């Protein structure tokens, strides 16, 4: 079943152009003739008005699934105008945080069986909230326990580290954001640009997968390191957290994703000539702030690896001296799907080089069914 690949994780990383295509199949309307460009999500279409009228939307999940929510939070807020609160399922349960009948709670889970997410669902239902599932497993406990939902259709994911499910979750939640946003004149060009780039997504993921060899080289350079920091912000704060999670869970290397806006509030103290730092600085509304982060890190002789949009290497790293990862550029809200791929490849190669089990990392289970 692994075909030409040595490991499921490797196979699942490389099949993302296909899994993303399946996630979007039959759900995107190209426009033209009498058709307005748009999305059609069967599970959601009868409930859109209710969700738009909610007082608040909650994204609830664990691990990678939480990160997928974080990556799409800003777009849902932008297009729907409804504030989105992020909740790690275990923390919501620990706090017994308030949830109201006027809330809509989205439960994001690849397996649909994660104990904390499932318990958070039971809790939210008991509070009277409208509960929506975003899962990859038809008939799973979360798919059954929610009022309705969206299947991400990424196909079965076997590697314990989530890869293709993450990118499909973001694609599915981007379509949810588009469905929730009303097609107003002022938002039309933005909506159409996102839909066009959803169509362009599989080809761009194919393109970024060509970095495989470069990421293997980078892994060779980093394989003896103790630690790796990842700085991101805006749409790519999620990429920083998820990239660091991939490295720590499979390569068993300490790695930390940091919101770049927090750099001066502590993390800057760690910077020296030896600690490797990846800065995500692809083109979007926050990239001039990332430029200044890079300058400040360079001033402290940080060992930088900069991820930027194709052609931006000189702009983002004018003094040279840093390693650059150039990636294809899409609409800002879809960039997390592109930007995570080099991290997945890096984590995979680091794991192989360090001699650890790729598909079954130490101490971890694919589906966490106990709290
Ligand atoms: C990381 C990973 C975990 C899961 C988390 C939630 O690669 O796989 O962090 O994302 O255990 O699992 P699901 O999505 O099945 O609820």
Q: What is the pLDDT of residues 38-82, one digit of tens each?
A: 999 999 999 999 999 999 999 999 999 999 999 999 999 999 999
**65 Cβ inside 6 Å of ligand 1:** yes
Q: Give the pLDDT of residue 321.
A: 85
Q: What are phi and psi of 88, to 5 degrees?
A: -75, 130
- pTM for the full model? 0.98
Region for residue 311 given its phi and psi (left: phi exceeds 0; alpha: psi -120 to 50; beta: otherwise): left
Q: What is the mean pLDDT of the chain?
A: 96
Mutate which of 114, 115, 162, 242 for ligand 1? The one with the most ligand atoms within 8 Å of its CB, which is 162
Which residue's C-alpha comes closest to atom 10 of ligand 1? Answer: 64
For residue 144, how far is the Cα from the chain centroid?
24
Q: 85: which strand partners?
A: 58
Taking only the tens place, the pLDDT of each residue in 171-229 is 999 999 999 998 888 899 999 999 999 999 999 999 999 999 999 999 999 999 999 99
What residue owns the CA closest to ligand 1's atom 9? 63
Cα(110) to ligand 1 centroid in Å equals 7
Provide the pLDDT for residue 104.
Answer: 98
Residue 100 confidence (pLDDT) above 90 = yes
Atom of ligand 1 minimally distant from the CA of 117: 16
Ligand 1, atom 6, residue with closest C-alpha: 62
Q: Is 116 in the pocket of ligand 1 (CB under 6 A)?
A: no
130 sits in which H/E element:
strand 130-135
CA of 286 to the centre of ligand 1 (A): 28
CB of 140 closer than 6 angstroms to any ligand 1 atom:
no
Q: Is the CB of 15 under 6 A from ligand 1?
A: no
The yes-or-no verdict on residue 1 having pLDDT over 80 is no
Rounded to whole angstroms, how far apart are CA atoms 91 and 99? 13
Cβ-proximal residues to 73 (8 Å cutoff; 6+ apart), any chain: 59, 84, 86
CA distance 22 to 275: 40
Which numbered atom of ligand 1 lies nearest the CA of 111?
15
Identify the residue whose tokens are 């409804």: 82
Ligand 1 pocket mutation pick from 8, 59, 61, 65 by most atoms within 8 angstroms of CB? 65
CB of 215 shorter than 6 A to ligand 1: no
- In angstroms, rounded to a whole number, what is the distance separating the alpha carbons of residues 317 and 103? 44
Mutate to test the pocket of ligand 1, among 64, 142, 362 (most ligand atoms within 8 A of CB): 64
Q: Is residue 135 lining ligand 1, measured as CB closer than 6 Å?
A: no
* pLDDT tens-place string over residues 312-335: 999 999 888 899 999 999 999 999
Mutation probe of ligand 1 site: the residue of 115, 141, 368 with most atoms within 8 A of C-beta: 368
Which residue has its alpha carbon closest to ligand 1 atom 5?
63
Q: Is 23 left (phi over 0), alpha (psi -120 to 50) or beta?
A: alpha
The percent of residues in the chain predicted with pLDDT above 70, rounded, is 100
- pLDDT single digits (tens) 255-271: 999 999 999 999 999 99
137 Cβ inside 6 Å of ligand 1: no
- C-alpha 173 – ligand 1 centre gap (Å): 16
Closest atom of ligand 1 relative to the 368 alpha carbon: 11
242 pocket-lining for ligand 1 (C-beta < 6 Å)? no
Residue of 308, 279, 282 whose CA lies nearest to 296: 279
Q: What's the 95 CA to ligand 1 centre distance in angstroms?
A: 21
Is 47 strand, coil or helix? coil
Per-residue pLDDT averaged across 363-367, rounded? 83
Write down the pLDDT at residue 363.
84
């Amino acid at each position: 079943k692994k075909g030409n690949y040595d490991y499921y994780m490797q196979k699942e990383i490389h099949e993302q152009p296909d899994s993303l295509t399946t996630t979007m199949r039959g759900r995107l309307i190209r426009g033209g003739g009498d058709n307005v460009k748009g999305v059609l999500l069967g599970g959601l279409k009868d409930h859109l008005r209710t969700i738009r009228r909610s007082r608040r939307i909650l994204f609830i999940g664990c691990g990678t699934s939480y990160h997928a929510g974080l990556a799409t939070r800003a777009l849902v807020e932008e297009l729907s105008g409804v504030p989105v609160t992020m909740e790690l399922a275990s923390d919501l349960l620990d706090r017994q945080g308030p949830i109201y009948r006027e809330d809509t709670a989205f439960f994001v889970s690849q397996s649909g069986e994660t104990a904390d997410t499932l318990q958070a669902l039971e809790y939210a239902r008991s509070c009277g909230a409208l509960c929506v599932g975003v899962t990859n497993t038809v008939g799973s406990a979360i798919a059954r326990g929610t009022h309705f939902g969206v299947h991400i259709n990424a196909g079965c994911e076997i590697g314990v580290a989530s890869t293709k499910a993450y990118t499909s979750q973001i694609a599915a939640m981007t379509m949810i954001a588009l469905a929730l946003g009303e097609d107003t004149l002022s938002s039309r060009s933005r909506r159409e640009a996102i839909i066009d780039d959803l169509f362009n997504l599989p080809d761009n993921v194919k393109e970024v997968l060509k970095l495989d060899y470069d990421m293997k080289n980078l892994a060779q350079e980093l394989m003896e390191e103790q630690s790796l920091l990842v700085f991101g912000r805006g749409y790519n704060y999620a990429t920083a957290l998820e990239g660091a999670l991939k490295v720590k869970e499979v390569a068993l290397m300490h790695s930390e994703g940091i919101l770049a806006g927090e750099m001066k509030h502590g993390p800057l103290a760690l910077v020296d000539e030896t600690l490797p730092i990846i800065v995500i600085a692809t083109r979007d509304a926050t990239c001039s702030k990332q430029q200044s982060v890079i300058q400040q890190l360079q001033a402290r002789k940080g060992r930088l690896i900069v991820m930027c949009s194709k052609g931006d290497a000189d702009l983002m790293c004018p003094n040279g001296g840093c390693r650059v990862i150039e990636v294809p550029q899409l609409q800002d809200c879809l960039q997390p799907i592109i930007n995570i791929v080099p991290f997945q490849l890096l984590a995979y190669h680091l794991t192989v080089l360090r001699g650890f089990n790729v598909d079954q990392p130490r101490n971890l289970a694919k589906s966490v069914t106990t709290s």
